[in-house]
Structure 1
Amino acid sequence: MPDSLTDRDLIAGVLPETDLFARVYESLAPAVLGYFGARGVDDPEALMQDVFLSVLPRIGEITGGVAGLRTFVFSVAHARVVDYYRRVERRPRSVDYDPLLDLRAVPSAEAEALVRTGQTDAHLLIGALKPEQRDVLMLRIVGELSVEDVASVLGKTPGAVKQLQRRGLKALREIVSEGVMAQ
């Protein structure tokens, strides 16, 4: 390799600074790039550039010739790899969300509380009605009472019970069709 780096090149003033930087970079960059590639970093070129941005201004301080420079370059490269993996470990893994693949299902705290207290979505729907409508529907459906029996229990006429039942059922249909109640 005709442009290989020598100990003499590293002596201050032998080469112009730009030529020295070019020679150091050309000599060591492929090995540093290979090191980063072997260590599995995501962007080895960017990390390599970072190493040389740190090393080149300090070339005049390095002792030990080319071997000392190589040791220094790879100590900086190793430190960058360690830093890289520390960052990767601290950073949460980013994964695109796909709702079709997400099989998690967690009930809301409200739903869980209602289930524990024995209440269900039907209780929530019925609870959204006016009290008289709720009473009529509960007696008709849950109590399985006739219109006449409900009228007797509530002290109303059978016509009033039918009207409250009709309005209550209509209100329930509207609530369900509007999707007001979460499931």
Structure 2
Amino acid sequence: MEQGNHARGSAVPIRDFDHTLRAARRGRQSAWDAIYRDLAPRLLGYARAQGAPDPEDLVGEVFLEVVRSLPRFTGSAEEQFRAWVFTIARRRLIDVRRRAGRRLLQLSAPQELEAALGGFDEDALARLSLEHVLDLLGHLSDDQREVLVLRLVVGLRTGEIAAVTDRHPEAVKGLAKRGLARLRERLAVGERHADADVADEPTPPPLGGGRR
């Protein structure tokens, strides 16, 4: 599989997933490269936003397991495959957290999140800096943050997130709704503080010192 630059770039969608998956099952390298180009950037964004200490290493481990376990994958739809891959990634991340013996809170800045938030053109979140968004995500519960990362960074749908996290779709919707509400609440607090700081600043004198 191709690695390195593709993991840090943008996802390249697979044009014919059924054909690609069949070719991958037969061991065709070009098929695995296509799968890697599509999923590696999403996996990297997920690992970063979830605080993995070595995101690229995690992506590599996930793909090794995907290659080894593909014969046991029984689905055929792209959505099923994507959910299966991110289920593996989630389990790997849980293992990393257990080994670390603590909750991983250090969030790095995935470009994928900035791009995803750009789609919310009617939402105040879209006007935030990426660093501010990641800081806000740190105020969410683990469950809320996980659901929103899978939605915003990875681009999974509700059903896929439900499969990855082993939750009912309605539970996923509820976590996303509460998480977004919490983000907007934190955003509103920040905006009020900023408005207060501006109001406290002295009014500058008119041009010319006010003399005529």
Taking structure 1 as the reference length, the TM-score comes to 0.43
Query: Rg larger in 1 or in 2?
Result: 1
Q: With structure 2 as the length reference, what TM-score do the two structures score?
A: 0.38
